[in-house]
Amino acid sequence: MKIGSIIENQKIEKRIAVTPEIVKKYISLGFEVCLSENYGSHLGIKDEIYSELGVKIGKDDSQILNSSDIIIQLGMLSDDKITYIKKDQTLIGVFDTYNNKEKLENLARKNINLFSLELLPRITRAQSMDILSSQANLAGYKAVIESFSNFEKAIPMMMTAAGTVPAAKVLVVGAGVAGLQAIATAKRMGAIVFATDVRMASKEQVESLGGKFLTVDGSENLETEGGYAKEASDDFKKKQEELLSETLKKIDIVICTALIPGKKAPLIIKEKMIENMQSGSVIYDLAAIQGGNAAYTEVDKIIEKNGVKIMGESNILNKLPVSASNLYAKNVFNFISNLYDKENKKLNINLEDEIIEKTFIK
């Protein structure tokens, strides 16, 4: 069987789905691998490195797409590329099923096997394939680094003969994978860290990392069976707003990570709250691409309101493409290993397997 992958649109995606380390594993399973010319050159991976491992380098993307049994990408292919995919081929990636619903339904009707990896169930057996966790970990780390670089004061407490520099106070909104990594990173760099989340189960995790969990009076546990946050009630939102309004007056840096799968990001940091923040504070909004957790957030811009910088990027992982690609490629390999019948050398789309059933787009 042949696995193929072509270069993503570099303006929006610098990650790659097949790394040299993973090529060896595919070939050891008996796959043939074909990649487009200069596939990893922007990450310092020359075509020669792939060729020496047994990869076929193709100059024509249409031929790679048309001849591959399994196509691995990061995001959805452009309309002109999709035309080259035919019946019974398998397409694997992160396809933003809510925004690309119509396009995916059209592909499924053509009997193309589609697997969107952001739909993986949060179960133990799927952890090695969990692209949301691996990528969110890096995003949480990088959000802290980016916000600290735009904050014009020192982060840790420093005691000098000339006086003491106080530690920066950081608030992390949303204590999922990205939020917990943000807490850990900010804490390691010497900040005083606070966190809030609608899931009460997060309290113990936040405190184990040295953060202080802000508890809303009368909190209800707003967690789905799959471990994701669900939408809060109006009463909860009002109480959370009151707590945040007071807290933000003394916070230097806010990292926003709150997302509800398939919905617009909840607006948590309102205009009035930002007005009451200290001048020189920074808000980094990881939810920017889905509307943002903070008022005034704009994608790929730094907006300044009352001396507060509000930052949001369309794809923060483009700033860590090597690390992000290494993890993504391993996730995808583990997913394909679970999908592949090694004995009969073919894909086994067994819908009784929860991992396959949840990610398969019918």
Q: Cite the active site residues.
A: 122, 127, 130, 133, 228
Q: Give the 3-state DSSP-derived string for the chain, with helices as H, strands as E and coil as C.
A: CEEEECCCCCCCCCCCCCCHHHHHHHHHCCCEEEEECCCCHHHCCCHHHHHHCCCEEECCHHHHHHHCCEEECCCCCCHHHHCCCCCCCEEEECCCCCCCHHHHHHHHHCCCEEEEHHHCCCCHHHHHHCHHHHHHHHHHHHHHHHHHHCCCCCCCCEEECCEEECCCEEEEECCCHHHHHHHHHHHHCCCEEEEECCCCCHHHHHHHCCCEECCCCCCCCCECCCCCECCCCHHHHHHHHHHHHHHHCCCCEEEECCCCCCCCCCCCECHHHHHCCCCCCEEEECCHHHCCCECCCCCCEEEEECCEEEEECCCHHHHCHHHHHHHHHHHHHHHHHHHEECCCCEECCCCCCHHHHHHEEC
